[in-house]
Amino acid sequence: MAAALAFGSPLVYDLSTEEQRTLAFHGRAVSPVTSYLAIEPGVRPSTEGLLKSEATGTGIGFGSGHGRLGGSVTSRPGNPAEWLSSQLSDAWKRCGGVGHVSIDVETTLDEVVDVLRATAKESHDESRLDCLAEAAWQLELPPMFSGEHVTYVVSL
């Protein structure tokens, strides 16, 4: 994951092509030096950036499959605010926090997009508040989150 983050940041421009290739292969990241590129329809993929031994080869394959397709419309049961409160309450305890704390968590349909600084009524070690904020960032939201862009104020 760190390799993918590096390729998504300006830090990658500080690396030589060979260093980028090494990072991409080691981290198994898609990158400008390891990805195929077809400019126009019908143009063969470019092998630029690939070592010669990796760009050649032959193979044969076959396969089959079967299955069924079905579907139904389902609602997204549950209360996102209550779910967040439960998850962050558990995290607050794991962080060693006691007493009341408040944190704002901004979400989209399927991910946390912003976490505003946690604040506490009582005096707390900053590391506990940082721990809670980090736990909020790590949440994997269930399907009950249906708002395209919602900020929840979670008071524990």
Domain boundaries, the chain: 2-54, 80-155
CA distance 135 to 97: 13
CA distance 24 to 28: 5
pLDDT-derived band of residue 78, with 50, 70 and 90 as boundaries?
confident
pTM of the model: 0.49
Mean pLDDT (whole number) for 75-89: 83
HSE-up of residue 95 (Cα within 13 Å, Cβ side): 24
CA distance 107 to 5: 21
Distance from C-alpha of 71 to C-alpha of 89, rounded to nearest angstrom: 36
Q: Which tokens hold the place of 105?
A: 């968590």
| Tokens standing for residue 57 | 């080869």
- The runs of H, that is alpha helices, within the chain are 2-7, 17-27, 80-94, 126-137
Mean pLDDT over the full length of the chain:
75
**Sequence-distant (≥ 6) Cβ neighbours of residue 12 within 8 angstroms:** 6, 20, 31
Structure confidence at residue 71 (pLDDT): 54
Q: Which two tokens stand for residue 82?
A: 């209550």
Q: Percent of the chain beyond pLDDT 70?
A: 68
Q: Sheet of 112-120: strands edge to edge?
A: 112-120, 101-107, 150-155
Are the beta carbons of 100 and 121 closer than 8 angstroms? yes
